[in-house]
Amino acid sequence: MKFFSHTAFLLFATIILATSCNREGCTDSNALNFDEKAKKDDGSCTYPENGLTIPTTYSFEDEAGNSTVSFSGQTQRQHMLIELIDYIESANTPGVSVDAQTLRNMYANEGFIWADAEGLGLNESTKNLKGKTAASGGSADPTWQAYFEDLFDQLDAISETTIDQEFSGGPGVAGVVQSTTNPDKAYLMNAQGWDLAEMVEKGLMGAVFYNQCTMWYLSDNEINVDNDAATDPENGKYYTAMEHHWDEAYGYLTDGINFPTDGTDHFWGKYALGRNDLLELADNLSLAFRTGRAAIAAKDYITRDSQIERIQQDFSLVSAATAIHYLNGTLDNLSDHALRNHQLSEAWAFIDALRFGQLDGLTVSVIDEWLNTIGTDFYAVTSADLNLVKDELAAQFGLGSVADSL
């Protein structure tokens, strides 16, 4: 009996020792994330870039103490989309209709009076969503503009047919579809089960915000501009052109300078935070934007460019990981028309959004193949097809180990 106890103790001690000896992490004491308990370096070390001083929030000043940060136009566009979606979602209540012309006016910021609860100057603004739709080449893409305006027409036509307290939508029938497992949830859908509000919201997140951030303001042409003189200090523009373009890219991620502590209540900031526990995407994007901005101030363009690559990669990961998250939700709700189609509309739009960013080996034809596999009739989707797309998407982005947990 004593021999058994001694043996057990030795076995236990060996396990503890082996676990301690095998702990992986960052073993470099010079790194930001040094782990004093790690015995084996796992390649995760992160460092202050080339001695740069990186602020803890997105706050930058010139030598006189003037703020050099400005992304008010991007904040205005974000809040225009908030009001647009609020108006569209009012039609999730049977008997409430929305008007296509009003939606067009909101989209183009023409002839519409904004509520502007935040006091952002929306009614005096020249900014709009339409002119920036798929505009990474400088001009908006009329094909994608027409796509969204067609969704507006569908919203108008379908919402006009709904009757108060009647949930008449279903397979092959456009209307408001009510959840069978959660009757408080109901969504206006076309005859194929597209939740049109989600297609507009996530679609514009991709075609405008994601596209403008990663493929326009961080492009070679837009980032390699003057970085020597303030644009217009006499009128409070203390930033250089390069600093301002970087800020404008940041403004399409979030409207909070303390992201991800704040600026996470809508759009990409919200979804980056939603993937933060597993992938640290909100933290990584925040650090990359702050590091790149500090590098611009120091005229360290090698570091700036390395942060552009990180931002483009992590932004695409937010879209891909969120698509997988909603594919999981779709699979969990296959028997509930409303919840399944609602989740699938979001998954579809986040997959589709990938075409508007840095593809890095992914092709538009592969994105189209994934969407074709799902199919445009959401009432006819199968778990086999959904799982196939989920697995291929996870493999493409290296998310296989976390796909089921997203």
- What was the pLDDT predicted at 18? 47
Q: CA separation (Å) from 169 to 178, 188, 333, 337?
A: 8, 8, 17, 10
Q: Are 167 and 94 in contact (CB under 8 A)?
A: yes
Model pLDDT, residue 136? 87
Cα angle 344, 348, 352 (rounded to 5 degrees) comes to 170
Q: Are 272 and 260 in contact (CB under 8 A)?
A: yes
For 76, phi then psi, to 5°, come to -60, -45
Q: Which two tokens stand for residue 58?
A: 């997105």
pLDDT given for residue 400 in this prediction? 98
Calpha distance 296→206 (Å, rounded): 26
Per-residue model confidence (pLDDT) at position 16: 44
Cβ neighbours around 52 below 10 Å, total:
16
Q: What is the model's pLDDT at position 137?
A: 85
Output the pTM of the full model. Answer: 0.88
Q: Residue 29: its pLDDT value, please? A: 56
In angstroms, the CA 99 to CA 84 distance is 11
User: What single-letter DSSP state applies at residue 398?
Assistant: T
CB count within 10 Å of CB 365 equals 7
Low-confidence ranges of the chain (pLDDT < 70): 1-22, 28-34, 41-50
Pull the structure tokens for residue 363: 């092709």
pLDDT of residue 391: 98
Per-residue pLDDT at 37? 82
User: For 138, which DSSP code?
Assistant: S
